[in-house]
Amino acid sequence: MASAPGGDPVLAACKDKLKHFRLKELKDVLCKIGLSKHGKKQELVDKIVAILSDQQDQASKIDGLPNRLMVGKETVVKIVEDTFRKMREPANAVSASGNQNELGYSVMPMKNPDDSAQLDIKVRCPCGSSMATGSMIQCDHPRCSVWQHIDCVIIPEKTADTAPQELPSSFYCEMCRVSRADPFWVTINHPLLPVSVAPSNIMADGSYTVQYIEKTFPLSRANREMLQKAEYDIQVWCILLDDKVPFRMHWPLHSDMQINGIPVRVVSRQATQPLGANGRDDGLMLTQFLKEGPNKIVLSRSDSRAFCLGVRIAKRRSLEEVLNLVPKEQDGEKFDDALSRVRRCVGGGTEADNADSDSDIEVVADSVSVNLRCPMTGSRIKVAGRFKPCVHMGCFDLEAFVELNQRSRKWQCPICLKNYSLENLIIDPYFNRITSLIKSCGDDISEIDVKPDGSWRAKGGAELKDLMQWHLPDGTLCMSTASVLMSGNDDDDFAGDRSGGTSSLSGQPRSVRPKSVLAIESDSD
């Protein structure tokens, strides 16, 4: 963000406050100012800064609205300061702790650990302290909601800038991150709560020292008996605190471990090989090395980064149990939302979407061909799965995807390659209706024509009968279209096989042949 023009201290102070705002606070400020609250986080910040910089014309332009009279700079400053103060008040933070949403994190500065307003705060931090001291941040998981010290779990980037560290748009504690990393294991309890693994020290030659962390945890007789059952195991896990892929296990470089004095190999990769964005480490299974009573683990590592270590008893889930965690079709996404996404991807969006576009390329295709084959298996999709945050219309076979992740644990969209977790996995209500209607057809029937309004028809031989006729987005047969086709009038309005472009449901665009120069919006994120 650019520095304040002329060194305006008021503008600089407001910019510092805006860095800590969640989407919720930014939208509240814009609503009070009278500007649209739609857009990404940085876009919302830019709208507010434009007003603070006495650039109301620019604010209107950013907002996509005609220039109009807005509130004055002084009023905006007061709104920002009031919002910032309310966000950082401990009492307000505590009262809101049980009502978190997906839009952001909760931040709370703590000064007096004996303050009565903090009695109900659940603190569990890798540093081991249960005191709410310093600035705190809360886990977004509604069934967790623990508070942790920001300085312990948010690792600042190494920059020369002295500006405050920008906090993440969402935050999950270490236990919740491990649980999401592999839903085929459900945590039963934690014999060793998460503990910090500090970075190694730098030696004079620039290398890092080998450092050790030693921890002891108890194993009761009841837990020992539980671990004799095949579906249970006890696991030591490790994560990188500032991992760009938050929901995975991640061990330090040069990791070695001893369990009750027995050396055990930690990872299968080379000790000097960093874990790439597509890599996943495993938790180390301990059952065969443990005894009833106290058990000691010693981790050695040589790594400049901060990690977190813990031990959990977990129970294995079956493929069917994990599939049952995916919401039912009617619970995952509204059909209208899925239809809007298809219309945008096929038709290039609405006029409002393109109002500020610099492109003079216009979509004029009557329809596009969409491939219903899974990008992973190559077979026709049976149940159309997708990750809810993805903006492309591409889907994959739900059961095949979950089964694959039983081994890979990546939970990565095979179309846009973004990393998610099982909690984001849903059934696409638009394409799942189509795949359900054609499930009795041969596997060679794997393409449909889709119009910009979302209507569709299957492509194939005469055996498809009604499926070759145009259907409304909800799967209802369009009778007027059927009558035209039956009369032999194959005009341009229904000639999907000769018009427009083709697109794969896996998100990969094919060749496009419209009536004139055109471009179909890419399905990639």
How confident is the model over 306-340, as pLDDT tens digits?
A: 999 999 999 999 999 999 999 999 999 999 999 99
> What is residue 503's predicted lDDT score, i.e. its pLDDT?
53
User: For residue 224, how far is the Cα from the chain centroid?
Assistant: 37
Q: How would you label 277-311 residue by residue, b for 16+ Cβ within 10 Å and e otherwise?
A: eeebbebbebeebbeeeebebbbbbbbebbbbbbb
pLDDT at residue 443 tops 60: yes
- E strand intervals along 5-112: 106-110
Rounded to two decimals, the pTM is 0.68
Mean pLDDT value across residues 263-281: 92
DSSP 8-state code for residue 333: S
How confident is the model over 374-393, as pLDDT tens digits?
A: 999 999 999 999 999 999 99
9-57+71-86: in CATH 1.10.720: yes
Q: Tell me whether strands 368-371 and 501-504 are parallel, antiparallel or unpaired.
A: parallel
Cα–Cα distance for residue pair 452/353, rounded to 1 Å: 14
pLDDT at residue 83 tops 90: no
Amino acid type, 459: K
> What is residue 211's predicted lDDT score, i.e. its pLDDT?
93
Cα–Cα distance for residue pair 77/59, rounded to 1 Å: 15
pLDDT at residue 305 tops 90: yes
For residue 55, count CB atoms less than 10 angstroms from its CB and return exposed for 0-12, middle for 13-18, buried for 19 or more. Answer: middle
Tokens of 123: 């603190």
Q: How confident is the model at residue 480 (pLDDT cuts 50, 70, 90)?
A: low
Tokens of 153: 């779990």
Amino acid type, 395: C
- E strand intervals along 94-251: 106-110, 134-138, 147-149, 185-197, 211-219, 232-240
CA proximity to 144, closest of 181, 172, 119: 172
Tokens of 472: 């409304």
> What is residue 380's predicted lDDT score, i.e. its pLDDT?
94
Kindly list the strands in the beta sheet with 134-138, ordered across the sheet, starting from the edge strand earlier in the chain: 106-110, 134-138, 147-149
Cα–Cα distance for residue pair 287/283, rounded to 1 Å: 12
CATH 1.10.720 boundaries in the chain:
9-57+71-86
Tokens of 297: 């683990």
> What is residue 106's predicted lDDT score, i.e. its pLDDT?
58
CATH 2.60.120.780 boundaries in the chain:
184-317
* Helix then strand then coil, % of the chain, to nearest 5: 30, 20, 50
How confident is the model over 449-462, as pLDDT tens digits?
A: 999 999 999 887 66
Q: Indicate the range of 260-264, 271-275, 360-364, 430-434 predicted with least confidence.
A: 360-364
Sign of CA dihedral 376, 380, 385, 391: positive
> What is residue 440's predicted lDDT score, i.e. its pLDDT?
82
Q: How confident is the model at residue 498 (pLDDT cuts 50, 70, 90)?
A: very low
Q: How confident is the model at residue 94 (pLDDT cuts 50, 70, 90)?
A: very low
Cα–Cα distance for residue pair 12/34, rounded to 1 Å: 22
CA proximity to 137, closest of 18, 22, 17, 24: 22
Q: How confident is the model at residue 97 (pLDDT cuts 50, 70, 90)?
A: very low
Q: Tell me whether strands 185-197 and 307-316 are parallel, antiparallel or unpaired.
A: antiparallel
Mean pLDDT value across residues 29-44: 79
CA atoms within 13 A on the CB side of 43: 11
CATH 3.30.40.10 boundaries in the chain:
323-349+366-459
pLDDT at residue 363 tops 70: no
184-317: in CATH 2.60.120.780: yes
> What is residue 219's predicted lDDT score, i.e. its pLDDT?
96
Amino acid type, 477: L
Tokens of 81: 């300061």
Q: Are 149 and 211 in contact (CB under 8 A)?
A: no
How confident is the model over 159-188, as pLDDT tens digits?
A: 555 556 678 888 999 999 999 999 999 999
For residue 6, count CB atoms less than 10 angstroms from its CB and return exposed for 0-12, middle for 13-18, buried for 19 or more. Answer: exposed
Mean pLDDT value across residues 182-201: 95
User: For residue 163, how far is the Cα from the chain centroid?
Assistant: 27
pLDDT at residue 154 tops 70: yes
pLDDT at residue 495 tops 50: no
Q: Tell me whether strands 456-459 and 447-450 are parallel, antiparallel or unpaired.
A: antiparallel
Q: Indicate the range of 63-67, 120-124, 280-284 predicted with least confidence.
A: 63-67
Kindly list the strands in the beta sheet with 293-301, ordered across the sheet, starting from the edge strand earlier in the chain: 211-219, 293-301, 256-259, 262-264
Higher pLDDT, 509 or 298: 298
Tokens of 213: 């962390």
Q: How confident is the model at residue 158 (pLDDT cuts 50, 70, 90)?
A: low
- Only one residue has tokens 């499926």, namely 467
Q: How confident is the model at residue 512 (pLDDT cuts 50, 70, 90)?
A: very low
- Percent of the chain at pLDDT exceeding 90: 50
What is the CATH architecture assignment of 323-349+366-459? Answer: 2-Layer Sandwich (3.30)
> What is residue 374's predicted lDDT score, i.e. its pLDDT?
95
Q: How would you label 100-139 residue by residue, b for 16+ Cβ within 10 Å and e otherwise?
A: beeebbbbbebeeeeeebbeebebbbbeeeeebeebbbbb
Q: How confident is the model at residue 464 (pLDDT cuts 50, 70, 90)?
A: low
Cα–Cα distance for residue pair 393/507, rounded to 1 Å: 7
> What is residue 90's predicted lDDT score, i.e. its pLDDT?
44
pLDDT at residue 488 tops 90: no
> What is residue 71's predicted lDDT score, i.e. its pLDDT?
60
Enumerate the β-bridge partners of residue 293.
219
Mean pLDDT value across residues 213-230: 95
Q: Tell me whether strands 368-371 and 185-197 are parallel, antiparallel or unpaired.
A: unpaired
Instruction: Name 102's Cβ contacts closer than 8 Å, sequence gap at least 6.
Output: 140, 170
Q: How confident is the model at residue 506 (pLDDT cuts 50, 70, 90)?
A: low
Q: Indicate the range of 200-209, 256-265, 285-294, 398-407 predicted with least confidence.
A: 200-209
Q: How confident is the model at residue 500 (pLDDT cuts 50, 70, 90)?
A: very low
Crossing angle, helix 41-52 and helix 23-33, to 10 degrees?
40
Q: Indicate the range of 80-84, 231-235, 250-254 predicted with least confidence.
A: 80-84
